[in-house]
Structure 1
Amino acid sequence: MKVGLYFGSFNPIHIGHLIIANHLQQFSDLDQVWFVVSPQNPFKEKSSLANDYDRLHLVNLAIEDYPHLKASNVEFNLPKPSYTIDTLVVLEEKYPEHEFSLIMGMDNLTNFHKWKNHEQILKNYSIYVYPRIGSEPGNWADHPKFHFVDAPIMEISSTFIRQSIKENKVIKPLLEEKVWNYLDGSSLYR
């Protein structure tokens, strides 16, 4: 089975994430897309993150009606900060029957050469890249391991969503309905 790994803090997950994941699963050769909920991205401040299990719960709520989308907490028990290469090694050991690929936004290509063991990632894994406004493939354009997918361009920000919740704004259209209902009835992000 071909599994695309969509890493992120999903703080919180929003319809942009769902649209990208569903598009990649439906319009590429990926059988499933797994949302890998990251406890701490090495490039992000930890202070703005909601609890790991709250974010995982929101991802599970959001994907309930999508049988080809899954949530993974594999990084919760790995040393922090978690690095993609380490997570890939653990997943390979745990699920030897799966063929894993990465999913990333084109804006991540700028710093990809700075990723821990990025050469090993490129040697062993395909990378599905979705477009972002103002981002170009750069030096990676002709690399055989990169698959540039013509997915919808989503400019929805989790930061904007968190700020809007704090300000009691109604942002229901930006969130999957179960996620909105959960957040609307909780103190998360307030």
Structure 2
Amino acid sequence: MMRKGKRIGLLGGTFDPIHSGHLIAAEQARDQMKLDEVWLMPTKIPPHKTRTDIADEQHRLRMTELAAADHPYFRVSDMELHREGPSYTVDTMRAIRQMFPHDEFLFIIGGDMVEMLPKWHRFEELRTIVHFIGLARSGAQYNQEAVSSYVTFVEMPAIDISSTMIRQRVRAGISIRYLVPDAVERYIKEHRLYESFG
């Protein structure tokens, strides 16, 4: 008997570090789209990145695992970290669909990324493989009708947190409590991440 597939949301990111905004986005997508799981996928750092303070991928993976540990429907995938060469979403999705043919995958992106989607690598193929969940910021205007065939929007509370801000706060010795999960804050302190300027 063929097993019933799951509806799984994918949220990719550098997660340098993962923060409460990422987790709230994942939870809002899970709840509003009735997803069975959300997979958090740390991405490889592109070779052209010029920042010198980027945390090692094993640190970023471990922080993501710590952040997801207490949520029964969050999973962490390190698949992107093992891929060689440029990491394109279309290739990731093809690989995932081959590994999990019975599951339905939805790719979670910020609302501000929606208008850029048609410029993504091999987008016409990508839109046949995966549907997108757009995180709609309160008060922002989106042409939902124009993208309705490949994007479903969910309401996202306005959370003004970024990984850049957290790194800057760590360097300046300013508290990041509640901006990241407690376990992530402890990990950053224990490994002295982001303390030096890049």
TM over 0.5: yes
Alignment of 1:71 with 2:76, yes or no, is yes
Secondary structure of 1:173 counterpart: coil
Q: 2:136 aligns with which of 119, 131, 134?
A: 131
Alignment of 1:96 with 2:101, yes or no, is yes
CA–CA separation in structure 2 for the residues paired with 1:29 and 1:41: 33
Alignment of 1:22 with 2:27, yes or no, is yes
Q: Percent identity?
A: 32
Partner of 2:127: 122
Q: 1:177 aligns with which of 149, 167, 182?
A: 182
User: Counterpart amino acid of 1:124?
Assistant: I
**Shift in Å, 1:50:** 1.1
User: Counterpart amino acid of 1:77?
Assistant: H
Alignment of 1:4-23 (within 5 A): 4-23=9-28
CA–CA separation in structure 2 for the residues paired with 1:44 and 1:24: 29
**Shift in Å, 1:44:** 5.5
Q: TM-score normalised to the size of structure 2? A: 0.87
Instruction: Specify every segment of 5 or more residues in structure 1 that has no aligned partner in the other structure, as ranges.
Output: none
Larger radius of gyration between Structure 1 and Structure 2: 2
Task: Out of 105-114 and 173-182, give the one that drifted further.
Answer: 105-114
Q: Deviations over 1:147-186 (max 9, x none)?
A: 0101222220100100111111111120101111111222
Secondary structure of 1:60 counterpart: helix
Q: 1:57 aligns with which of 62, 68, 72?
A: 62
CA–CA separation in structure 2 for the residues paired with 1:118 and 1:129: 16
Change in Cα spacing, 1:26 to 1:38, as seen in structure 2 (3 Å) is: same
User: Counterpart amino acid of 1:117?
Assistant: R
Partner of 1:32: 37
CA–CA separation in structure 2 for the residues paired with 1:93 and 1:44: 30
User: Counterpart amino acid of 1:137?
Assistant: Y
Secondary structure of 1:34 counterpart: strand
Partner of 1:143: 148
Task: Out of 123-132 and 58-67, give the one that drifted further.
Answer: 123-132
**Shift in Å, 1:133:** 6.9
CA–CA separation in structure 2 for the residues paired with 1:47 and 1:136: 36
Q: Is the 8 A contact 2:28 2:154 kept in 1?
A: no
Q: Is the 8 A contact 1:6 1:103 kept in 2?
A: yes
* C-alpha RMSD of the superposition: 2.1
Partner of 1:85: 90
Change in Cα spacing, 1:140 to 1:161, as seen in structure 2 (3 Å) is: farther
Instruction: Specify every segment of 5 or more residues in structure 2 that has no aligned partner in the other structure, as ranges.
Output: 1-5
Change in Cα spacing, 1:82 to 1:123, as seen in structure 2 (3 Å) is: same
Q: TM-score normalised to the size of structure 1? A: 0.91
Q: Is the 8 A contact 1:107 1:136 kept in 2?
A: no
Alignment of 1:39-54 (within 5 A): 39-40=44-45, 45=50, 47-54=52-59
